A and B are shown apart, each in its own frame.
Chain A
């Protein structure tokens, strides 16, 4: 990918989207890279649509504004596709990662994306239910995004998830999130 990778996350309050962006930034620090992770601050309510952003670069990141031309768009909640244009501003070769039980072909048609743009799907909510017992799709989405963007190795990512979640949660929750991240990384499908 290019020197600088810009990522836009679409989620709803309470799904852990901001946490996913934060863990991604932390995991991408390796190799002397520069990172940014920041959410858009609006009314912080569970269920309200929100955006979060990442920039990862080998050069110093000086831009301090929302990502307007994302190369990667991560849709943590597919119901958002009906209410907002998640393709807005995406680059011609952008990668979309969508949390859905539907196949990539169906989503490609639904989003009406350009030929040069790629689409990946992952049933992150189902994985979350199986691994954590709650509909928190962030860990599997993080795994999926890392896989398709090629930003960090799976081992490195899992180590970082362990570190980030380890501060706050019990071993059971940590293990569940690690498993969800691994499955997100491995089960994401291109369409």
Chain B
């Protein structure tokens, strides 16, 4: 029997982690993810979980300790955000290269400088090519659901990869919303017993982790890592199907909203997708065929399926809450462009950068973009491909 509560995104994720009851966690507190670990460590102190909690001196050490514990054969998680994720960067590649199924909720926020504590996707986008699976979440419910599914996905014997679960800093992490919790035993049964694979502590079968691999084999190793990514899609969809059985909530590689017969569309991640859906309803009420695609599995990116879902539209705006500096476009725009490049008939694409450092994404921003798309669909003319919106000057 599910329990309905009013809880913050952080509270919901902390509760998911309690229900998962991992063997080991190592953490260093960072805003606005701190609240998750604060709650989780009190679960540890109060005996609500049997987790071995290691408090370390930095995020780099937190990930290092997680890598060690995971290689030793435990179910492991940590939580981070922003600068913390940036400091972990070196170790992220080691976790994925060693194929360790560590789960890490990431509360998305801006990177310094200038210092800013608010919502932004630059942190997770900076780690998008680190070999971690990334699941993105619109609200607290999705962050809770994705956190639970992340363990089943990452620990799948066909892939064994680390998973990040992304949610918007403050907008979701600190906002109270209605959330449905599963029962503890439902979560326990869903993720199952942790299955070890080549654990370091199995002294009967000694193994080495992280050996030197020179040019004669390094590339084969990388090719194997690339190939395993192609198996992730099926694992994510299977996990979603199983999760629907216990929760009634549907998940896919991405969510489409009124997209099937749409002529114009938005592609947007996380909480801003919700605000956009309400505006799309208003445009539909006025007879304008607008729709939306919200990526969920962002790494590995389902290029084929995304391209198929978008190819029939006339004009699409990809909204990025991060920029990819270097005279480039936003990271999501680059991926959406890639997903469509093989089609001869495809939508005209534009890119808007919004909401950096916690700048509000308001319904009027979605309206502005949808009006521009309506015009582009009519005239087939684009003024600027990439533009910052909701900004001065």
Contact = CB atoms under 8 A, between A and B. Distances in A.
Interface of A: 21-22, 25-26, 29, 32-39, 41, 61-66, 68
Interface in B90-132: 117-118
A63 B175 CA distance: 12
A34 B274 CA distance: 14
Interface in B6-57: 6
In this complex, the member of B118, B171, B175, B275 whose beta carbon has the largest number of chain A beta carbons within 10 angstroms is: B175
Contacts of B274: 61-64
Given A62-B278, A64-B139, A29 B4 contact: yes
A22 B5 CA distance: 12
Contact of A37 (B6, B117, B138, B172): B6
Given A41-B170, A68-B362, A34 B178 contact: yes
B192 interface: no
A62 B176 contact: no
Nearest to B360: A65
B362 A25 contact: no
Nearest to A29: B6
B352 interface: no
Closest 10 A/B residue pairs (Cβ): A62-B274, A38-B175, A64-B271, A37-B176, A26-B6, A25-B6, A25-B176, A34-B178, A62-B277, A64-B274
Most chain-B Cβ atoms within 10 A of its Cβ — which of A34, A64, A65?
A64
Nearest to B364: A68
Interface string B253-273: 000000000000000000110
A26 B118 CA distance: 25
Contacts of A26: 6, 176
B300 to A, nearest CB: 27
Residue of A21, A25, A34 with most partner-chain B CB within 10 A: A25
Given A29-B4, A64-B275, A35 B362 contact: no
Contact of A65 (B176, B177, B363): B363
A64 B362 contact: no
A33 B277 CA distance: 19
B136 to A, nearest CB: 14
8 contacts: A22-B176, A25-B6, A26-B6, A37-B176, A61-B178, A64-B175, A64-B272, A64-B274
Interface in B157-192: 168, 170-172, 174-178
A61 B277 CA distance: 10
Contacts of B118: 41
A21 B6 CA distance: 11
B89 interface: no
A39 B32 CA distance: 14
Nearest to A32: B4
B233 interface: no
B177 A35 contact: yes
